[in-house]
């Protein structure tokens, strides 16, 4: 039998089998070739088996090429992944360090804001008693409030821009690249409302300081106006002309406010003071706990994920480089 004859000789090269097989198929069914006539079905089965064997050999060759390629590129791939993991951890450490510094800056800003609220409340309360000290306290409070606002907003902008840049760099390390121009544009777009609000608050604070400084100068050279202002503040009678003079000279300051207006101003300042104290306590507690940023933990999680993938690839590499078990 042709099939049995070929399969019983595995030492025959595949090339010899493939070259001889068409010869048998081309033989005409004559009286001198009874084997071919009797075993056409067996020949078809042999042909299919040889085709499958050839396909398996091709697959084995491809697998071997893939194995050799993986073994050749893995050492450099390992170095690249280790470098990416190191950079991700550096980014996380930098974000944590900046977050801690920004937390300290916010604590300073909160302290200045709280002091500003206290000075404004004192200034409003002392306005009917001592004009000069009241105006000085109010001007100082306005200045401290403006400084606290600038510090707080600028700190938030710096931290946000730094975290955005770190996340973009992490995205480059873990997957696709990033465009620095796009990152800057996004940060600027997101920070425009804060910058606009900060500008408005600073302008208003500067106007308040200027009005109080001017009122201090007028109070020194025109004590009669201060007397009339005290009458206005304590709801005592004053002429229409004197009232207009007080409003023109001390407009926008505590010396031109009625008792109800001063109470409302003190209540508003007290509300902002409570908010500043709350934020101050919260930031202080956060700093005491280590002041770790959430974005830094996300970066460390990305580093751990890369480490996990590297470990899996390392196991595959070790299994391929190990010799056959005896």
* Tens of pLDDT, residue by residue, the chain (326 residues): 444 444 444 444 444 444 444 444 444 444 444 444 444 555 555 556 556 655 555 566 666 777 788 788 888 888 988 998 999 999 999 999 999 999 999 999 999 999 999 999 998 888 888 877 888 888 898 889 889 988 888 888 888 888 888 888 888 777 655 555 565 566 666 667 777 777 777 888 888 888 888 888 887 877 787 777 777 777 677 677 777 777 777 777 887 787 888 888 889 989 989 998 998 899 899 888 888 888 888 889 989 998 998 898 888 888 888 754 44
If you ran DSSP here, which 8-state letter would residue 255 be given? G
3-class state of residue 321 by DSSP = helix
Ordered by start, the domain boundaries in the chain are 108-295
**Tokens describing residue 216:** 């201090």
pLDDT of residue 180: 55
b/e map 20-55, b = 16+ CB within 10 Å: ebeebeeeeeeeeeeebeebeeebeebeeeeeeeee
For Cα atoms 27, 30, 35, give the angle at the middle one, nearest 5 degrees.
70
How much is the pLDDT for 33?
47
201 close to 154: Cβ distance less than 8 angstroms? no
- For the chain, helix, strand, coil in percent to 5 are 85, 0, 15
In terms of pTM, does the model score above 0.85? no
């Amino acid at each position: 039998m042709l099939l049995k004859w070929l399969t019983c000789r595995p030492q025959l090269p595949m090339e010899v089998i493939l070259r001889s097989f068409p010869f048998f198929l081309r033989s005409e069914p004559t009286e001198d070739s009874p084997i071919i006539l009797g075993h056409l079905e067996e020949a078809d089965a042999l042909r299919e088996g040889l085709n499958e064997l050839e396909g398996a050999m091709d697959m084995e060759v491809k697998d071997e090429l893939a194995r050799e390629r993986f073994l050749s590129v893995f050492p450099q791939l390992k170095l690249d992944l280790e470098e990416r993991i190191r950079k991700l951890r550096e980014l996380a450490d930098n974000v944590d360090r900046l977050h801690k510094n920004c937390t300290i800056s916010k604590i300073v800003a909160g302290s200045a804001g709280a002091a500003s609220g206290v000075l404004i409340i004192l200034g409003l309360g002392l306005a009917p008693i001592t004009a000069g000290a009241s105006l000085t306290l109010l001007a100082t409070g306005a200045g401290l409030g403006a400084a606290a606002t600038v510090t707080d907003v600028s700190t938030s902008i710096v931290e946000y821009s730094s975290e955005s840049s770190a996340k973009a760099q992490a995205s480059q390390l873990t997957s696709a690249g990033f465009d620095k121009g796009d990152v800057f544009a996004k940060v600027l777009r997101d920070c425009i409302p804060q910058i606009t609000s900060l500008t408005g608050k600073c302008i208003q604070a500067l106007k308040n300081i200027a009005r109080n400084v001017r009122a201090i100068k007028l109070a020194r050279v025109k004590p009669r106006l201060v007397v009339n202002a005290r009458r206005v503040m304590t709801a005592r009678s004053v002429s229409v002309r004197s009232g207009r003079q007080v409003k023109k000279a001390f407009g926008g300051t505590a010396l031109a406010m009625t008792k109800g207006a001063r109470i409302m101003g003190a209540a508003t300042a007290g509300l902002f003071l409570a908010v500043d104290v709350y934020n101050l306590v919260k930031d202080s507690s956060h700093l005491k706990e280590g002041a770790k940023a959430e974005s830094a933990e996300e970066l460390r999680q990305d580093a751990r994920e890369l480490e996990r993938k590297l470990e899996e690839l390392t196991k595959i590499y070790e299994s391929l480089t190990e010799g056959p078990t005896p």
